[in-house]
Structure 1
Amino acid sequence: MLTTLSKRSPASSNKHSIRISVCSNEVLVPDRVSAVLGKNVTLSCRVEVGTNLSLTQSSWERQSPTGTTTLAVFNPQFGTSVVEAYENRVQFVRPSVEDASIVLQGVSFADIGSYTCKVATFPLGNSQASTVLDVMVEPKVYVSAGSGPLVDGDVDSVVATCTAERARPPAEVFWESDLFGRSEKIDQDEPNGTTTTQVRYIWAPTSHAFGLTLTCVVRHPALDMEFRIPYVLDVQFAPDVMVVGQDEVWYVGQENVRLDCRANANPYPHLFLWTRVDTLMPAGVEAANGSLVFTRPLRRNDSGTYRCEVQNDVGLRSQDVHIWIREPPPTTATPTSATTSAAVALGSSGTSPTQRHAQFTSPTLASLADGSVGTIVGGAVGGVLLLAMLLGLGVLCYLRQRRTFRGDYYTKQYLGPSDMQKESQLDVIQPHELMDVYGGDSGKGSQDLKPKPDGDFIYPDYTKDEGSWGDSLRRGCTYYSDSQSNRGVNPSGPPVSGPTLNNGAPFLQDGCYDNGTDCEYVAHTDGSVISRREWYV
C-alpha cells in the first residue's frame, strides 16, 4: 500500500511528496552519551521506517524523579517544536523521517539523566529507545613547587606537585623524569562527583640536577590530548670556585699579570674576596670584580699562596692557588765577528772571508738557545759512548772466536789405549818435568819441542814440502812404551826404546813427523802427546 504524505519544512512552505511502504520500524540511539560540562552535546536518534508504514511524529522526552518532560517534537507536516524551558538550548540537527537527533547546548550537572527518543508511525503505533546522559568535567591542571627550596645535600624533599583539579571522572596523573625519585598520589572527592588528584614528586636534591626538567602528564576523556607541563629544577648549591690565568710560567719583571676567580653557584654569589695565605698581600696587587691584578712588574717575593673566597646564600667556598715567580731565562749572546768568521772558515774555504761572514750572519739563521745546545751536546756524547761500548763488545766476541785451540777433553785428560787405562792414574806433565825437557831454560831447550807458528802441532826442522815425510816404508816411527816392551808387543824383534819424559810420556824423535800417517803419536804445544790411532776413533 502506497501512501503519499506531505512534509512542511519550518523554513519554507514547499511541499514534498514521500512514498513509504510500511511493515515495521526501528529506533536507534546510543546506550550512553558523555558530555563535557559547559559544552554542547548531540543526542542522536536514527529512525528506520519499514514499508507500508508512515512516520507521523518523532519527539524527545526526559525522565526525572518528578515525571516525564517533552523537550522537542518533529512533525513531517507541521515542522519542529521545542518546549519553552529548553527553547534556547535544544534544536534538531537535521529533522526528517529518518533522523530525529537533537543538540543540547551548555550542558550542566542538572542535565544528567535518561533521555528517550519516541517515534509514532501509522498504522503500527509508537516505538522508542532511551539513552543516558553523563556529564564529564575537564580537570584544571597546574604544577606547583614544593614548600621549601631545593638545597644540595638535603634529604628527600617535595620537588613539585602536579594537580588535576575537580575532574569527572578522576584524571590520570603522573610524572616523567630521569631522576631517581618517587611519586605519591592523593585523591580528594569534590562536589558534583568530581575528584581532585595530586601527585607529588619526592627526591633528594643534588647540584648535578640543576636545570634538569620534570614533566607533569595528565590524561582525561574530556581532553582532546594529554596535558604535558614541564617543570625546571631549581637546586641551590654553594659556589664551585675555579681560578684561571696561571696556565703559563711567570718570571720576574713580567707585566700585565692577573688571576680571575670564577664560581658556579645558585643563587649567584654576592662576595668575592682575594687574600694571601702565607703573608700579607704585597703592594701593587689589587682585587676587583673577582680578579687579582698585578699593577706592576712581578717580583720574586710575589711567590706564595693566594686564596679566592666566594660566598652566596647557601655557603662559602674557596680555592687556593700557588704562584712561583722564576728568574727570567738567560738570553743567548750574539756571536762576535771573529768567531763567526772562524766558524764559517771551517765550514767552507772556497769563498772570500767577507762573503762567508755575510752568509753566517744572515737574519734567517737563528742562534740556538743554551738549553738546546746542552741537549744536543749531551745526546752526541751519549751516542759516542754507546757506539764505543758496542764496538768493544764486538771486538771481544771476535777475539774469543779467533782464540787458538789449546786442547780439549782428549788432549787434557786422555787415558790412552785400553791397555794403558789399567795404570793407577793419568800421566800428566808437570811444570818441573817441562823444565827437564826444555833444558831448564826457555831459550836453550830442545828446538824440537818448541811451539811453531803453524798451529798446535810441533814440527821438527824440515821442509814442509818434503815428499817422503809421510812414507811409512822409508821412515819407521813406531814406538812402544816400556810397558809394551815388557808385554812383548813386538815379538818379531827387540823393541825400540825411545826417549821418554819423567812422567812416562813418550818423546818424539826428529824422524817422527806429526803429519805422517806412520807416526803413532802426535805432540801438542802444551807438552802432551796423544796417540793418533785413538784420536781418530
Structure 2
Amino acid sequence: MTLNGVLWPCLVFFPGSLAQRVRVEQEVVSYPGQTVTLRCQFPNPGETQLTQHSCETQRIRVSWIFEPTDADYPAKSPLSGRVSFVTDPPTLENPSIKIIEVKMTDEGRYICEYATYPSGNEQGVTSLIMLAKPKNLATTVRVNAGKTPVIVARCESSNGRPAATISWSTALNGNVTAPIETENPDNTFSVQSAYMLVPQPSDNGKDISCMVSHRTLTQPETFPMKLVVEYPPQVKIVGYDNNWYRGRTSAYLICQADGNPVPTTVTWRTLSGLMPEKVQVQENRLAVQNVDDTINTTFICEVKNSLGYGRDQISVFVREQPPPASNAGVIAGVILACFLAIALLGVLIYFLVFHNRRQQHGYRGTGKPAGAPYDSFTRLFGSAKSSKNGTGNNGNNNTPIYKGEVGLNEKTANLGMHPGGVALLETSHTHTAEDILLSREMDEVERKKFDELEEEDERYDHFGGGGPILQLRPHDDDLDDDMESQRDGSVISRTAVYV
C-alpha cells in the first residue's frame, strides 16, 4: 500500500492463530493523542527461510494484522495515514511499526506475522490498551426536609477507559443507588452514582464523601461534601427559670431559632396582644428591667425564613416573693461531715486496737518488755513513815502501799509479829496485785505468775517451823522500804534486808 510516496505495511483484517516464535511485547498501554510503537522481531531464524508476501503490487516480507476490540471490522483501516514502519526502509530483522495520534478506537490486538518456509507462518501478538483518564465530579443536591427518600448527593466519572468505580463514605443512614454506566462513541465510559436519604433538619451540614477509583489514578480521588437540607425555622424560648417575683431586676427571655435558609425576621408578642411597658425587645432578646404583675402573661416568639415560619411560647408566673433558699447544700454538708466523722472514728478505733494488741505482745508504756525484773507496774509496795521506836500504825514497822502510773493509792496491810521477832506480812487491802495487773491488761502468762506470788505469800503467812526466815530491818523515819516482786515469786527489798 503506497500513500504519498511512503511505504506502508500490509494490514489484513482477519484473525490468525499460529505458534508464536516471533518476539513482541504482550501489552502496550497508551493514551489518546500519543504516539505508540509496536515492536516485532524474528531472532535466530536458523534453517528457516523467509519468503516474500505480496500485498497488491509491493513485495514485502512481514504482514501486520489488526483485530479491533469490538467485533465490528471496518471496511477501511482506521489507521490509514497514522501508521508507518519504525525504520525506513523496513528490515526483516526489525519490522516494528508506530502509530501517531492514537485514538480510543485503535485499541485491539496487533499481530506481527512472518511468512516462513517450510514451517509456515510465525506470529507475535501485541495487545494495545487504550487508557483515558476520566473527569470526576461530585456535588450535593439542595433538598427540603421531608418523609420520603430523595437524592442528596451525586458523583460522576466521565470519559474514562476503562470504566471507573465509585464508592461512598458517610455516617448517614441512607442508600447508594446502582451505578449507571454509559459507553461513549469514542470507546470511553461514563459512570454515575447517587446517594439517597430521607432528609431531616438534623442532617443539614453532615459530612459525605465520594471516592472514584480508576486505573489511571495512583489512589482514589476523594470529594468531601456537606449535605444541604432546607427547613423552616425551629424556635425555642430560653431564660425563664420559674423564679420571676415582684421586684426582680434584669429578667430576660431569648428566642433561639435555627433554620435553612437563615431566618430573616424575629417577632415578639403576647397572647393578649399587648406588650407590657416594662418590656424591652432587642431582636431575639426580651428584657424586663423590673418585674411586676404586668409581666404575668404569655410571651410568643415567631421566626420566619423563605420556607415558612416557626414559633414558641412560654407563660410567665409572677410570684409574690422569691422562694425560700433551698437547704439542700446544708443537708449535703451535714451528710459529708457525718461521713468524715465516721471515717475518723474508724481510724481511731483501728489505731487503739492495733496499739492494744502491740502491748499484749510484750510492750508497755515504759517501753520495757513484759517480765522485766524491775517492771514499774510490778512495784507493789512503798515506804511508810515509822516511829522511832519501831512501831507504826497498828503496831507495824512497815506499811505496804502500791503506786500506779495513773494515780497514787495507798492501802494498809497488817504486819504481824511472829514469835521470835519474825515479821509476817499479811495483806488486808481489797485490791490485789493481780487486780492491778488485770487493769493494765496483762497477758495470761503474767497473771499466772502473780497467782503463784500470792500462793507464795500465803505459805509465808502460815509458816510454823524453825530456821532463819526473812527479817525486816527497821528503817529511819525518812527511809522508804521499796519492796519489789520478782519473776520467781520472791520479794526483794531495795533497802536493808538481812537473812
TM range (shorter): 0.3 to 0.5
Give the TM-score normalised by structure 2.
0.47
Give TM-score scaled by structure 1 length: 0.44
Rg larger for: 1
| Structure possessing the higher relative contact order (Cα contacts under 8 Å, 6 or more residues apart) | 2
